[in-house]
Amino acid sequence: MRLRYTDRSANDLELAFSWYERQRRGLGFDFLDCVESALESVIEHPEMYQIRYANFRSCVIRRFPFSIFYTIESEEIVVHSVFDSRQDPKKRP
């Protein structure tokens, strides 16, 4: 199944990567590795993760306080947000 990022999710990744890199060199790449691992699991088993609300499913990222919110479309998985769990839940996609 193909994976597509919305502009919001791409921006979420960029902001988180930059923040973690400022904290410690290489930590941003560790974050991206964990995101990639979570997305591989989503691609292999997209329906394994619970629907959190509406039609958005959520996958928690290992080691970091983030979740991937996505939907399953006819021929692709759309990543809507890489959400920092420390934010107000009202800001979810």
Q: pLDDT tens digit string along 59-72?
A: 999 999 999 999 99
pLDDT band at 1 (very low <50, low <70, confident <90, very high): confident
Tell me how far apart the alpha carbons of residues 82 and 12 are, in angstroms, rounded to a whole number.
6
Identify whether 22 is part of a domain.
yes
State the residue range of the domain holding 38.
2-87
CATH code of the domain containing 52:
3.30.2310.20
Give me the chain's average pLDDT, please: 94
Identify whether 93 is part of a domain.
no
The total of structural domains in the chain comes to: 1
Identify whether 46 is part of a domain.
yes
Residue 87 pLDDT greater than 80, yes or no: no
Asked whether 65 and 85 are in contact (CB, 8 A), the reply is yes
pLDDT cut 90: percent of the chain above it: 84
Identify whether 13 is part of a domain.
yes
How high is the pLDDT of residue 86? 81
Q: What is the pTM of this model?
A: 0.91
Tell me how far apart the alpha carbons of residues 9 and 2 are, in angstroms, rounded to a whole number.
16
What is the mean pLDDT of the segment spanning 16-36?
A: 97
